A = this chain, B = another copy of it.
Amino acid sequence: VNETAALEWIRNLSSKTHQNRMLLQGIGDDCAILRPRPDEDLVFTTDFVLEERHFERESHTAAEIGHKALARSLSDLAAMGSEPVFCTVSLAIPPQLAGRWLKDFYKGLMALAAEYKLMLAGGDLARFGKVVADVMCCGRVPRGTAMLRSAAKLGDGIYVTGQLGASAHGFVTRRGPAWARHKRPSPRITTGIALRRLGVRACMDLSDGLSLDLKRLCFASKVSAEIDSALPMARGASLDEALHGGEDYELLFTVPKSSAIPQDADGLPLTRIGTIARGPAGRVRLDGRELRPQGFDHFA
């Protein structure tokens, strides 16, 4: 396999899938070119997926890794309540993976992209000892409506989508729906858009565990949080997995006392888990006692 052939294959795949009319130029030039719409803001995020850090090649297929690489970035778009526009994919792989593995990676990624009409508009391809993928996603929202970590207010109810702890539980058991969820996370794009349309202003995605991520939201909003242990938990998951397990990719959001919120959005249950309270910025209490984050620290 040579690089030119691999790039040509990726370019063809991209041209055969969803085309976004905002993109004047996709793969094939030095840059992708986007013509923005006048009444929208654009949001950008980028996330790594690294061999032996985020997956093992023995337990994840190439298609699953492609799916996961995109899902991590899409989850950030979901947190802002944005509609996906395009992605760029930087992929480094050992040369022996430049044939079928490479194609399966892109097929897995593009299958998820197609669900959200996301266009593959560029990237980089390189040879390396381990698999490294870095996916940048761009989304769009009506001006001034992007949901923020910093918008939680005193008295807001704290909510999560779906169930917590599935990914961490699956990582331990390596079987059943929890393992499937770990391997193929679902970014909450349509739920995020629904929440934004309901008027939700404060939101983030749960990538590093509720205890750490809620602390971050509180820190950004300069508030404290009181939550209770009656959390919506994935089947089989422990309270520890629900509190501290990463990679659930559910949404964490807050809602003013005065606002009504439905019981579900886009088929996903919305569960109140606590209240934004007075207190030092970033403090989180569980059943009245301080909750220390045990989420993921990459350098710990």
Query: Is A44 within 8 A of B299, CB to CB?
Result: no
Across the interface, A3 reaches (CB within 8 A) one of B79, B146, B298, namely: B298
Which candidate, A26-34, A175-183, A193-201, is the interface stretch facing chain B? A26-34
Query: Is A92 within 8 A of B48, CB to CB?
Result: yes
Given contacts A42-B36, A143-B35, A299-B1, contact A29 B150 (CB under 8 A): yes
Across the interface, A205 reaches (CB within 8 A) one of B30, B46, B48, B297, namely: B30
- In A55-111, the 8 Å CB interface with B consists of 76-77, 79-80, 82, 86, 88, 90, 92, 95, 98
A15: shortest Cβ distance to chain B, in Å?
Answer: 14
Given contacts A31-B76, A139-B31, A149-B29, contact A125 B298 (CB under 8 A): yes
Chain B residues in 8 Å Cβ range of A6: 299
A139: shortest Cβ distance to chain B, in Å?
Answer: 7
A48: shortest Cβ distance to chain B, in Å?
Answer: 5
Given contacts A50-B128, A297-B3, A297-B4, contact A34 B42 (CB under 8 A): yes
Does chain B have a CB within 8 A of A286? no
Cα A123 to Cα B46 with chains together (Å): 6
Does chain B have a CB within 8 A of A291? no
Across the interface, A88 reaches (CB within 8 A) one of B24, B38, B46, B126, namely: B46
Chain B residues in 8 Å Cβ range of A52: 129
Chain B residues in 8 Å Cβ range of A3: 297-300
Does chain B have a CB within 8 A of A287? no
Interface size on A, residues (CB 8 A): 67
Which candidate, A130-138, A163-171, A237-245, is the interface stretch facing chain B? A130-138
Does chain B have a CB within 8 A of A281? no
A residues contacting B by CB (< 8 A) are 1-4, 6, 24-25, 28-36, 38, 40-48, 50, 52-53, 76-77, 79-80, 82, 86, 88, 90, 92, 95, 98, 121-130, 132, 134, 136, 138-139, 143, 146, 148-150, 204-205, 220, 297-300
**A-B complex: 5 closest residue pairs judged by Cβ atoms:** A36-B36, A31-B43, A134-B134, A30-B79, A30-B76
Q: List 21 A-B contacts (CB under 8 A).
A: A3-B300, A25-B148, A28-B150, A29-B150, A29-B204, A30-B79, A31-B79, A32-B45, A33-B44, A33-B146, A34-B42, A36-B36, A36-B40, A38-B38, A44-B122, A90-B134, A92-B132, A125-B298, A128-B132, A132-B132, A132-B134
